[in-house]
Amino acid sequence: MQLSQRVLGTEYSPIRKFRPLVLEAEARGIRALHLNIGQPDIETPRPFFDAVNAYKNRVIGYAPSDGVADFVQAMIHYYKGLGVALDHNDLLTTYGGSEALQIAFSCMLDEGDEVLVPEPYYPNYNTFVRMAGGVIRGIPTRAEDGYRFATREQIEPHITPRTRALLVANPGNPTGVVLTPEERQTLIDIAREHDIFLISDEVYRELVYDGEPISTMLQHTGADENIVVIDSVSKRFSATGTRVGALISRNGELMHNAMKLCQGRLSVATLDQVGAAALFESLGSDYYEKLRAEYHRRRDAVVSALREIPGAQFDVPEGAFYMMVRLPVDDTESLQRFLLEEFSDHGETVMFAPGSGFYADPDEGRQEIRIAYVSNCDQLRRSVELLKLGVAAYQKKMGIPAQVNAVPLACAC
Amino acid sequence: MQLSQRVLGTEYSPIRKFRPLVLEAEARGIRALHLNIGQPDIETPRPFFDAVNAYKNRVIGYAPSDGVADFVQAMIHYYKGLGVALDHNDLLTTYGGSEALQIAFSCMLDEGDEVLVPEPYYPNYNTFVRMAGGVIRGIPTRAEDGYRFATREQIEPHITPRTRALLVANPGNPTGVVLTPEERQTLIDIAREHDIFLISDEVYRELVYDGEPISTMLQHTGADENIVVIDSVSKRFSATGTRVGALISRNGELMHNAMKLCQGRLSVATLDQVGAAALFESLGSDYYEKLRAEYHRRRDAVVSALREIPGAQFDVPEGAFYMMVRLPVDDTESLQRFLLEEFSDHGETVMFAPGSGFYADPDEGRQEIRIAYVSNCDQLRRSVELLKLGVAAYQKKMGIPAQVNAVPLACAC
């Protein structure tokens, strides 16, 4: 039987594809510490469990296709706190940010249509865009410029008649870049002038560390038809396994059509929405402040530890809980395989996400890795120590001199 | 901004699209009884809630992309009970049967590829196939033949070089048809000879009422590459809002590619899988026997009540909890609008799913409706009474003589 060219053209997640090697390593008694996956170890707040346990309906029935009313109201209330007035019709509840993206692309893309995305980008964007029939065109950025991308000079040359959307993650996964208000406005102006959608993936909204105000693209006026926001409870509430998110836009025609797709798949899991609504209702700025402070500490811990790796290059990330690091090796996929198959220190090794999966051209990013700083500071320090030891062992095995490619970054750390 | 031709070509769910009129009716103090939607009123069994409440992990983290191990093991064990040996790699956990279908179509279809489906069919098949770039070709059936379709004569003339899959629901939604072993074998032979997938949607597997053994297409040997089964806990455990299902196939290449899509959307909600695993682990044939007996009673109640509607034509459904009924009116969409906007009896009216949405050609099925017999017998009787009164009122308003088109069905009831 023939499979679709579309699915054959997608790749395994570069973040998850080494799982079989991890299982083999575990079978040999080696424990792998995870810098690769955005799974925080912070507890999901109690209100989630309390609301789920207090659920009184004895039938777990379908939720409305657009979401459980309490959840939708809780989100509308939350956005009001950001100065954004939303109507019920502006929001559709989805299976996490992932499904919000899938629905958005399905509504926007026909075969061969293009989505512009600054590189490096979250690899699953590629899967979602491809499965909707589209292709990603990368906006090149430079590690030396801190991966910033939001200028007309960088973006406009890549717009073609097939461009349907500009997709950005803010705060950025994998770069940690946080857009300035002026940069956001530039993106909006470009989207409006070129009559394309601006999809803003804001699932890390609260995680900014250098005093930036909490922002959303929806605060900007005059481009209601263009702006589409992706949201999720996963990272904000350390509840990635709840799979509750939202597609938000004031473009009525888009939302009307997106609702058809929501009806098609019936509904998002009911209890998870009940729990998520309770999280929004019971947690406010105090909670976010504490969460931010904790990730701030983790960021600082991982940055300090990385400074101990000779030849490692990176910028201090401003937001989310990811960062890109360039390592003094030839190929980080090969390094990862080595770390899982041949390396260990006191029975431990370490995983990261190899950088090439974050670029449209797989030849790019081969010296880079993405780190997720989601575990506690002690474990982060140990993970980076393992990375340091592993890089040295790999360099020795491969005959790579230490400190190759030590190009200093603009904002040296 | 331009939306995709693909999404513009999809329709609102015919089962859910009258919801705005229902809200208006409710605002006028009219209560609508639901024969339209497959939401059972039977309680979700306690083991689901007990397992969810006993969940000890304080972080609701991502599940593995292929499913929580306990859930996958529980399903493998369940299939063993049907005489089917499955390997972990043969099964991917999905957001209900809906996502299993979406993933299957995404793996099989490129732009313009065709899926053969006997008519009438579950309308969301159309949304899923279209969004994967494909088109549905209907296999015509006749109410007079009890909507049976599984013969070479009916199917093979519709196979073209673009046909990638034959999709059947067994037991059937909306027809209630249950395939005989010989019919299943015919479908398998056709799929194998024409080198196409046979997708068997078996989410109503346990709901058969005339002594048929519980069956799955996976029991048939010799066509492992062709057979794909869609499963779900929704109907079996009266837990539609849990959104946990599975894509099952022994076609390794298909499952390998489907896993890429599962990784893309990360995972299915964790707690729901924990609850669903407990349901499979604690409930066995006694439970299914009771469930079947209850729906058997409901089927008989709805059939008896329908016999009181002059000119209504239908077969006694063999399985699932749906049936098609032909009513003595010109257009059942128009009837539904009348029932919500102009009709009530003691403050009540009734909803069904108009038949045209279940056909590829919207001009077909205009005299038909789909009934879901999911509420208790008293409510079912009252719902059908409302339908009877409503049909009479509509006929009077429209000047339709009672008993038009009273073509007797082969198996008259």
Instruction: Decide if A263 and B62 are in contact by the 8 Å CB cutoff.
Output: no
Burial classification of residue A403, based on how many CB atoms lie within 10 Å of its CB (0-12 exposed, 13-18 middle, 19 or more buried): exposed
B10 touches A at CB < 8 Å: yes
Q: Please list every residue in chain B whose beta carbon sits closer than 8 Å to the beta carbon of residue A3.
A: 107-108, 253-254, 257
Q: Determine the distance in angstroms separating the CA of A198 from the nearest CA of chain B, rounded to an integer.
A: 11
Q: Determine the distance in angstroms separating the CA of B296 from the nearest CA of chain A, rounded to an integer.
A: 20
Same domain for B154 and B291?
A: no
Same domain for A222 and A343?
A: no
Domain that holds residue A316: 5-42+287-398
Encode pLDDT of A82-112 as tens digits.
Answer: 999 999 999 999 999 999 999 999 999 999 9
Same domain for A60 and A133?
A: yes
Same domain for A180 and A313?
A: no
Nearest Cα residue in chain A from B7: A107
- The reply to whether omega before B174 is within 30° of 0 (cis) is yes
Instruction: Evaluate whether residue B406 is within a structural domain.
Output: no
At residue A10's C-alpha, the angle toward residues A7 and A12, to 5°, is 115
Tell me B4's DSSP state.
P
CATH number for the domain spanning A312: value is: 3.90.1150.10
Using CA atoms, how far apart are residues B143 and B272, in angstroms rounded to an integer? 39
Instruction: Decide if A59 and B41 are in contact by the 8 Å CB cutoff.
Output: yes
What residues contact A319, with CB distance under 8 A and at least 6 apart? A170, A171, A172, A176, A177, A178, A204, A207, A208, A209, A212
Instruction: Give the pLDDT of residue B413.
Output: 33
Tell me B319's DSSP state.
B
Nearest to B240 among A5, A42, A62 (CB): A62
B62 touches A at CB < 8 Å: yes
Using CA atoms, how far apart are residues B13 and B31, in angstroms rounded to an integer? 21
Encode pLDDT of B207-266 as tens digits.
Answer: 999 999 999 999 999 999 999 999 999 999 999 999 999 999 999 999 999 999 999 999
Q: Which amino acid is at A225?
A: E
B243 touches A at CB < 8 Å: yes
Single out the residue in A225, A254, A283 at which a domain terminates: A283
Q: Are B211 and B249 in contact (CB under 8 A)?
A: no
CA distance readout (Å), B293 to B216, B232, B300: 20, 20, 11
CA distance readout (Å), B376 to A372, B294, B302: 52, 9, 10
Encode pLDDT of B42-93 as tens digits.
Answer: 999 999 999 999 999 999 999 999 999 999 999 999 999 999 999 999 999 9
Same domain for A111 and A241?
A: yes
Single out the residue in B269, B284, B299 at which a domain terminates: B284
Instruction: Evaluate whether residue A195 is within a structural domain.
Output: yes
Q: Please list every residue in chain B whose beta carbon sits closer than 8 Å to the beta carbon of residue A131.
A: 106, 132, 261, 264
Same domain for A291 and A163?
A: no
* Cα dihedral A257→A260→A265→A268 (10° resolution): 70
Encode pLDDT of A43-77 as tens digits.
Answer: 999 999 999 999 999 999 999 999 999 999 999 99
CATH number for the domain spanning A220: value is: 3.40.640.10
Instruction: Evaluate whether residue A411 is within a structural domain.
Output: no
Here the tokens at position B186 are: 């015919």
A98 touches B at CB < 8 Å: yes
The DSSP element (H or E) to which B100 belongs, if any, is: helix B96-108
- The reply to whether omega before A14 is within 30° of 0 (cis) is no
Q: Determine the distance in angstroms separating the CA of A358 from the nearest CA of chain B, rounded to an integer.
A: 13
The whole-model pTM stands at 0.94
Sign of CA dihedral A121, A127, A128, A130: positive
CA distance readout (Å), B50 to A335, A396, B45, B272, B274: 45, 54, 9, 12, 10
Instruction: Evaluate whether residue B47 is within a structural domain.
Output: no
Encode pLDDT of A210-253 as tens digits.
Answer: 999 999 999 999 999 999 999 999 999 999 999 999 999 999 99
Same domain for B96 and B243?
A: yes
Comparing CA positions, the residue from B218, B260, B265, B226 lying closest to residue B243 is B265
B108 touches A at CB < 8 Å: yes
Instruction: Give the pLDDT of residue A412.
Output: 33
Same domain for A72 and A180?
A: yes
Instruction: Evaluate whether residue B326 is within a structural domain.
Output: yes
ipTM confidence: 0.93
Counting the structural domains of chain B, the total is: 2
Single out the residue in B256, B284, B312 at which a domain terminates: B284
Q: Please list every residue in chain A whose beta carbon sits closer than 8 Å to the beta carbon of residue B108.
A: 1-4
Instruction: Evaluate whether residue A115 is within a structural domain.
Output: yes
A41 touches B at CB < 8 Å: yes
Instruction: Give the pLDDT of residue A1.
Output: 84
B151 touches A at CB < 8 Å: no
Same domain for A167 and A292?
A: no
Instruction: Evaluate whether residue A60 is within a structural domain.
Output: yes
A268 touches B at CB < 8 Å: yes
Instruction: Evaluate whether residue B134 is within a structural domain.
Output: yes
Partners of B168 in the beta sheet? B200
B174 touches A at CB < 8 Å: no
- The reply to whether omega before A174 is within 30° of 0 (cis) is yes
| Mean pLDDT value across residues A158-169 | 98
